[in-house]
Amino acid sequence: MKLSGYLVVLAAAGHVLATLVEELVNQANRAFDSEGISFNTLNVYDSITRQLEGMGEVDQLVSILFKKSLIEVNLGKHLQAIEDLERCLQLDPHMASAKSSLAKLYIDQGRFDDALGVNDPSTTTTVSQVLRATDESRSLLADHKYGECLAVLNDQVLPFTTSNSEIWELHYHCSLGNFDSESYVSDIIQDVKEIIKSSGSIPSLKWYPVLSNYLLYGNVQYNVAMKYIKSCMRIDFEYAACGKLSKLYSRLSLLLQLLEEYGIFQEYVYDFTGDLPLDVIQDYEWSKLYTLLFEPKHKVRLARGVSNNFEFLIGEYESFINSLKTDPTKYNFRKYLVRLGCEAGIRLGKIKSSNNICKEIPDDDKFFPKYALEIDKLIKQGKYQEAKSRMGHFPNNVKHTNIFQERWTQVEQFFQQQEQRKFQEQQRQQQQQQQQQQERQQQQQQHQRAKQDGKDYYKILGVPKDADDAAIKKAYRALTFKYHPDRYKGGDLTPEQIEEKMQDINIAYEVLSDKQERAAYDNEASAGGGGGGGHFGGGGHSGGGFNGFGQDFMRQFMQNNGGGGPQFNFGGFGGFGGFGGQQQQQQQRRGGKKQAGNKKRH
């Protein structure tokens, strides 16, 4: 084949290769345009990179590798990005964008010497600033200036070297002494997570049990603590510290899960400012919980020198706290464990054991179960007002718990019953007052009619105006005896006249037997009003018609007379009202006796 033929073939092959390379680049661009930064896009770039390397297309390979490194950085795959950028600079040592990106990644990883070796103009200044700030933070830590140490690291170091495990360990030690932080334990937990994350492909296993202990003893997050121990065991099944915790967590799994749920409930009740969510668990198998905590037969085999799981867990917690020389008030494990033991005992009536545990809870703590027995005693003694006052001092969400409601219902029922009795008494008094008012009005009307008739009460009773009470009572008794419907033998009066006669006798006695009314009557008479007059039915006289004596007398009279004979209605005068029958009976009596009376008149 002639030379020209070879050239034609080579040109054709070059055109095909260029077309293929162009198609691969377009394929990479389409993947990025359609899905953006994603693992699918990264897989496409991986495939294209391998194909381009096989073709020996350096220019396009450098471009694809650089774009691939940017995707890896955004997906958190910093080590892969470093490898791709190093390959870029091998192919093109003068690529400025690759130098700058690689130097930043080296600094981020804490590989300062490698960063300086890239020969990027801005790298030297950045590395110098980071190293100087790191030294300053170490000096502040040594001087126990924990807050200042954290400030330097957060402002001058971590913005440049976020994947540096050494810096995160320094940050952890500063956080450990920063007791003023409101998120003390959470800060430490985050630091340890960052240490593990930035440790590379083979993280330091010693931090896994440390993190697990902080999660359990600090925030009572048993499930997350167990997750990290399982991760540790997958990396190295024979790592002793993780193996020990794995056994402990497995044997106390149920108890620790219940403690975590109880801790969440406690946060909602005592720390949460909003309303208590309806789905928050507050019903537990208290008998099972108490058994798991305090029964010796359920004690974990790992425990020695302790009586039960409660004592064992308290001991484990204290060992952890003492090893750190930290502030125990920042950790929730003991607080929630003691609360759980206290409430379980209260719920089950284990008075002696629960009292000993409840005493460990500070008096200024608003934990209601601690005071439940005191409130029960007040309720039992009938001191409901004191119990109500005592229960009013607890946070709003505490009042929605069932242990609170069980006692509040008793107090509330007492005050509701008290209000009901008070209301009923008021109604009774009102009815009594209305009845008395009606009686007084009836008496006043009768007295008014008597005044209008000009009747002389002394004359009616047949006593002188200076008669004493005994004489008035004697005369009244004689007249009521004489004119009693069952005993009166005279034929000169009709039943209606007898009834009217008895009304006059009753009214006369009521007025003259009451000092105030008698005085008013006498004053009216002396003023020229004739026999009686004026409004003398008041003076607080509630009268029953016979004013005490009359009632007794008529009761005896009726008993002696057998209670038979015709009965009359004497105008509702209290004790004498016993003579009053129904209207139908009156009409029957009147019909029979009226004829007899008329015959006698003839």
pLDDT digits (tens, 9 = 90+) for 217-236: 999 999 999 999 999 999 99
pLDDT interval class at 381 (50, 70, 90):
very high
CA distance 39 to 577: 105
How many other CB atoms are there within 10 angstroms of residue 300's CB atom? 16
Which residues, other chains included, contact 589 with Cβ-Cβ below 8 Å and sequence gap of 6+? 495, 566, 567, 568
* Fold exhibited by the domain 3-93: 1.25.40
Q: Please state the separation of Cα 287 from the chain's center in Å.
A: 24
* Chosen CATH of 455-601 out of 3.40.50.300, 3.30.470.20, 1.10.287.110, 1.10.3190.10: 1.10.287.110
Cβ atoms of 122 and 69 within 8 Å: the answer is: no
Could you report the per-residue pLDDT of 348-362, keeping only the tens digit for each? Answer: 988 888 888 999 998
Extract the tokens encoding 346.
Answer: 């209260």
Q: Which residues of 71-90 are buried (b: 16+ CB within 10 A; e: fewer)?
A: bbbeeebbebbbebbbbbbe
The full set of domain ranges for the chain reads 3-93, 455-601
Least confident window among 46-50, 66-70, 451-455, 534-538: 534-538
pLDDT interval class at 365 (50, 70, 90):
confident
Q: Which residues of 449-468 are buried (b: 16+ CB within 10 A; e: fewer)?
A: ebbeeebebbebbebeeebe
CA distance 116 to 238: 40
Extract the tokens encoding 495.
Answer: 């039943």
Cβ atoms of 469 and 513 within 8 Å: the answer is: yes
Amino acid code (one letter) for 347:
R
Residue closest to 370 by CA, chosen among 400, 335, 412: 335
- Which pLDDT does position 596 carry in this prediction? 40
DSSP state of 277: P
Cβ atoms of 575 and 555 within 8 Å: the answer is: yes
- Which pLDDT does position 543 carry in this prediction? 40
CA distance 387 to 407: 9
pLDDT interval class at 326 (50, 70, 90):
confident
Could you report the per-residue pLDDT of 542-578, keeping only the tens digit for each? Answer: 344 444 444 444 444 444 444 444 443 434 333 333 3
pTM over 0.75: no
pLDDT of 148 over the 90 cut? yes
DSSP state of 55: H
- Which pLDDT does position 449 carry in this prediction? 58
